Amino acid sequence: MSLRHHPKAYGSVAVAIAFIAGIFVTLGFKDFYPDLERRYQQNRRNNKRTRKPTTSDSDMRRRSSLFWGPVQLEDREKKLELQLPPSAGVVEGIEGCIGNTPLVEIKSLSDATGRTILAKVEFLNGAGNSPKDRVALNMIQVAEEDGLLSPGRGDTIYEGTVGSTGISLAALARAKGYKAHICMPNDQSLEKSDLLHHLGATVERVPVAPITSPDHFVNLARRRAQEHTDSNEDSSRGFFANQFESHSNWQAHFKTTGPEIFYQTSGHVDAFVAGAGTGGTIAGVAKYLKEEAKLANLKIVLADPQGSGLYNKVRHGVMYSSTEKEGTRRRQQVDTIVEGIGINRITENFEAGRDLISDAVKVTDEQACKMARWLVENDGIFAGSSSSVNCVAAVVTALSLPEGSQIVTVLCDSGTRHLSKFWKQVAKMGLEDEPKPESLTELLGIKQDS
């Protein structure tokens, strides 16, 4: 007798077939939709990195889209919920250690001002230990995409720098199959040029000269790169990184530093304070937070050392420093002990974010030295000169904002690169022997608004 004469048996077989088919459909779902599976797994990994799963999250993962309507592929690229890279585990190469730096509260500064002062610890970037790691990596990647650099061809990266960018480029150049040739002014700390040598870079320490001179360290690096490319010795090329004018600079901070700050603060930032050498950090972060993240009320504040003209450019629209007066200038570049920030011209990178800068704070060498010692005594932070300038400006900015405000600044590099110059000056001032001061505002000579 045929199966169709037994309705109950027929029904049981049908259910069994449907159940088995359901299993095969479920198991084979990722094979039928490989792009969906790839996106799902990527989002699943990212979610694990950025937040702890909730009960509702777990429940939703278990619910099949077969029971909840058609599959909806959501475009998450336009959202501001940053998916950070893993903070632990295996990464590929030294470039995998760049970015996702901690944002820490500097407790003594918060206590002294009644506002929360946070610092992005950029000296924990893993290649050259500064924010220039981000810039160097992005410049190399863009140059490779444009065919200006090719691994294994014998190419050399040329750059004019006061130190940090050159160190980052030298480290990454070796890692990615290139050579590095660094031109730097001879008034910079010896630690930087020594480190460059140990990283395998060719270093030219040249006399300080104005930017209009063909022997200015930046112009020299440009010329060396062109001479390399024009030579017919082999097929290798010279690439001039051009950190001051290349848009790859500010774009690196727009793509990484800005989003990280937004994520780490959950969008609660009342002011961002940073100095400017090339201007890439302040411009890139400002453009992300103000234009992309839409933090309309955010204040962008320039921290400027003595001798730099940017303070007056922001405040008064005129590029001028009192040290430019005839007979008063001691140095050709910027009349300050601070290295890495301060400049007397507008770069392409600074121009990219100049209209977004709300205010500027002038910081003296004396204030920077005193802040550096304060951070050691109170927070165990051994900061370099530009980091100290940023922290002074962050304090001044904090005192101009309502209580409860949150300010973010940058710890660019540690004091280990400033022993022979900046920290030697700290010692000369007797700051390491004096008793611990009780008031930060009195130490820095800052008048607090009543």
Residues marked active site are found at: 132
Residue 62 structure tokens = 């278990």
Total residue length of the chain: 450
CB 380, CB 244: distance < 8 Å: no
Instruction: Say if strands 116-121 and 103-105 run parallel, antiparallel, or are unpaired.
Output: antiparallel
CB 395, CB 117: distance < 8 Å: yes
Q: Which residues of 173-182 are buried (b: 16+ CB within 10 A; e: fewer)?
A: bbebebbbbb
- Cα gap 342→315, rounded to integer Å: 15
Q: Which residues of 136-171 are buried (b: 16+ CB within 10 A; e: fewer)?
A: bbbbbbbbbeeebbbeeeebbbbbbbbbbbbbbbbb
Residue 187 structure tokens = 């008034």
- Cα gap 377→370, rounded to integer Å: 11
CB 134, CB 99: distance < 8 Å: yes
